[in-house]
Amino acid sequence: MKKLAIPGFCFAVLTTAALYQSTHTKPVSAQELKTKYVNVSASSSLNLRKSATTKSAIIAKLVKGNKVIVYSESKGWARLKYNGKYGYVSSKYLITKPSAKTTISAAKPQTAIKYVKVSQGTLNMRKSASSSAAVIAKLAKGTKVTFYSESGGWSKITAGGKTGYVSSAYLSTSNPPAAPNTAKPKTVTKYVMVKSGDTLNLRKSASATSAIVTKLKNGLAVTVYSESKGWAKIKANGKDGYAGSVYLSAKKPVVSASKPAPKPATKYVKVSSSDKLNLRKSPSANAAIITKLVNGLQVTVYSESNGWAKIKANNKNGYVDSSYLSAAKPVPSKPAEPAKTVTKFVKVGINSSLNMRSGPATTYSIMAVLKHNTPVTVHSEAKGWAKVSAGGKTGYVSTSYLAVQAETNPGITNTAYGMTLDEMAAIQMKVNPQTDKKYTTFIRKDALDLSSSTTGVVDGTGWRVRGGAGDQYWVVGNVSNGEKLQIVNTVKGADGYTWYQVIYNKTWVNASPEDVRYLLNVNNFKNDPVKSYQFLKLSQSASLDNSEVNERILAGKGILEGNADAFIEAGKAYGINEIYLISHALLETGNGKSKLATGVVYNGKTVYNMYGIGAVDRDPINMGAKRAYDEGWFTPRAAIIGGAKFISKDYIQAGQDTLYKMRWNPLAASLTGTATHQYATDIGWASKQTTQMYNLYKLLSSYKLILEIPAYKTIGK
């Protein structure tokens, strides 16, 4: 088959001579048959091919001295029969008589079984007997190989279905035994060190949210296997688990005799005459309510700790807030006059909300969610909390998020870039933006050789898979010669050619023009409460609380757990929104568990990379580790703070201070007409970040957002 090359396509043309030969074969008489012998070197073989071309499929391999029947010879090729198979070989490797030294035999060369013998790492199997030859496989210690021959310190072998050459020094006739691991882990004895009367939780894994195996008393001796990141792996009371290292001591603490329990005291409930005090099952504002206690009720107090009192009231035991108990019985107050009410308005960021709670503290349950500018009736205000009514419900909100007048400016700005949406989309398509979306894909019929009715093999190079049946559709991706494709349908294209609909299993492909334009169009997202976060100004601090972030966001997030202070420090140092930094790190590290996040050894040092900086698509691990090594990110904290400097300097402080601008960079596109300085190739990167950002913000009590939305020109303006 002769290939006529046209860019992006291949046409198969059968020559007249070949057609004649395939359909008008002249019979061969017995007198025309010739007997010849293969004449190649003893260490090589001669390929018997399907047709008279070096690109044709190999049917068999002939060795020196093999006897063959030759039917015809033309243009350097001989048509022959060997072992019942017909095919073609190069005529120059055939002779009429075997030489005196030739042994006419089809026997296979003698082989031996050997084993790879390396002390560490793997042994390179190369294409030829040279240390500069291409590596075709890597063989582990003890790999069983078939040995053929040895010359110049190199051995010809077969392993794993591949034949190549390895250094003879690393082969052995016996399988090297694996070195026994006789080392026993070293252990130390330590002692539980907690306050008298308290216990230490032994947990199933190294996390404060992990299940509790048992509780350990103060002074108990434990066996410590290892310690890492504030946790110790120990054995105590015959059980294995993890405990906080800070609560273990090398010296046995002196356990003092326990003091007698304090005598119960009598106190009284002290709340307003219209309110009641919740008696709860445990000392927590989230615990189940057993009953409600009225003002002035006498109760028995057994103990008080951390703002909670363990009491007995109405023959029921439970816990109440200590601040609502009094040693003196309260004097009944006169009925209060109806309180005056005023109307105020919720003041939070656009697309944000304010939580109405069942009590005046963030520990109380959320009753309702109030949008920006919602009018509320304020009954009273005290200690930073307002008792309000809205939507038929009465509860409490923070007074700092109430305004006397409704806010007319919702915190949105629009920035014009002097180009249309279609012009912006055309600029982006020039750089083949990527997507992980699965498209219906097609390839021209003549690109495939069918191995079955549903499977084809790519024949030749330069073929492309497209997003429709025709070359007018965009290129989804390329395929390689010999690549197998599954065929699901056959259609006639608008260009007159027949096309196969095929399954193109690539993780990342070229995005369609329609998808690029959709994600560029701000009108699709600006009113969405979640997707609008891609327009959030990231150059402003979120003013986070360290402990709240650790407890509500970073708990159970792998290497990122307990690192709230690092994110807060990074945000203050480089003028960048801390919530964005956390969201970015969670996405890039797979919730703190990716290889780059948990540490990669590079140049003999363990490095960390929390934002995927430098981790380019072609080699993300090595390139990301190299960038971390060059920047000196040798601890998780250094990676969090140092990576924030890069994001802030190269993007936030450079004017790309929204997720949308980081991905698309509309200003550069309008000025240069090119797609440049974009944080990611994935067209959905900005949109994918928003859900994480939204969910993290919802964990906070309240907040304010400022949005900056691009404005593209409309046609005719």
pLDDT tens, position by position, 202-240: 999 999 899 999 999 999 999 999 999 889 999 999 999
Given a contact cutoff of 8 angstroms between Cβ atoms, the answer to whether 277 and 269 are in contact is yes
Looking at domain 188-249, what is its CATH homologous superfamily?
SH3 Domains (2.30.30.40)
pLDDT at 372: 78
DSSP H/E element including 343: strand 342-346
Q: Which residue has the higher pLDDT, 353 or 703?
A: 353
CB neighbours of 608 closer than 8 A, spacing ≥ 6? 559, 596, 597, 598, 599, 600, 628, 633, 634, 635, 636, 638, 639
Ranges of H-type helices in 133-231: none
CA dist 175 and 113 (Å) reads 10
Given a contact cutoff of 8 angstroms between Cβ atoms, the answer to whether 296 and 328 are in contact is no
Rounded to 10 degrees, what is the CA torsion of 604, 608, 612, 615? 0
Quick one: three-class SS letters along 124-142? EEECCCCCCCCEEEEECCC
Tokens, residue 578:
């801390």
Give residue 339's pLDDT band: very low, low, confident or very high (50, 70, 90): low
Are 188-249 and 265-326 the same fold in CATH? yes
Please say whether the structural domain 342-403 has been given the CATH code 3.90.230.10: no
Q: pLDDT, tens digit, for every residue of 28-65?
A: 454 468 889 999 887 788 999 999 999 999 988 888 88
In this structure, how many other beta carbons lie within 10 angstroms of the beta carbon of residue 135? Answer: 11
Nearest C-alpha neighbor of 36 from the set 11, 4, 68, 84: 68
Asked if residue 594 has pLDDT above 50, the reply is yes
* 154-158, 162-166, 351-355: segment of lowest average pLDDT: 351-355
CATH architecture, domain 112-172: Roll (2.30)
Asked if residue 27 has pLDDT above 50, the reply is no
Q: Beta strand pairing status for 316-321 and 221-228?
A: unpaired
Q: pLDDT, tens digit, for every residue of 183-194?
A: 566 889 999 998
Residue with tokens 């402080």, as numbered in its chain = 653
Residue 59's Cα: distance from chain center in Å?
A: 46
Ranges of H-type helices in 309-460: 421-429
* 157-161, 182-186, 242-246, 463-467: segment of lowest average pLDDT: 182-186
Q: pLDDT, tens digit, for every residue of 108-148?
A: 556 889 999 988 889 999 999 998 999 999 999 989 999 98
Using the CB atoms, write b or e for 57-90: b if 16+ within 10 Å: eebeebbbbbebebeeeeeebbbbebeeeebbbe
Please say whether the structural domain 33-95 has been given the CATH code 2.30.30.40: yes
Q: Which residue has the higher pLDDT, 377 or 83?
A: 377
Structural domain boundaries in the chain: 33-95, 112-172, 188-249, 265-326, 342-403, 434-510, 517-713
Please say whether the structural domain 517-713 has been given the CATH code 3.20.20.70: no
Nearest C-alpha neighbor of 566 from the set 468, 513, 665, 635: 635
Q: Which residues on adjacent β-strands are paired with residue 606?
A: 601
Sign of CA dihedral 457, 461, 465, 466: negative
Asked if residue 331 has pLDDT above 80, the reply is no
Looking at domain 265-326, what is its CATH homologous superfamily?
SH3 Domains (2.30.30.40)
CA dist 401 and 390 (Å) reads 15
pLDDT at 234: 94
User: E strands, 55-118, where?
Assistant: 58-62, 67-74, 77-82, 85-90, 94-95, 112-116
pTM: 0.44
Residue 454's Cα: distance from chain center in Å?
A: 33
Helix and strand tally (H, E) in the chain? 12, 50
pLDDT at 15: 35
Asked if residue 3 has pLDDT above 50, the reply is no
pLDDT at 105: 46
Q: pLDDT, tens digit, for every residue of 649-683?
A: 888 888 999 999 999 999 999 999 999 999 899 99
Sign of CA dihedral 669, 671, 673, 676: negative
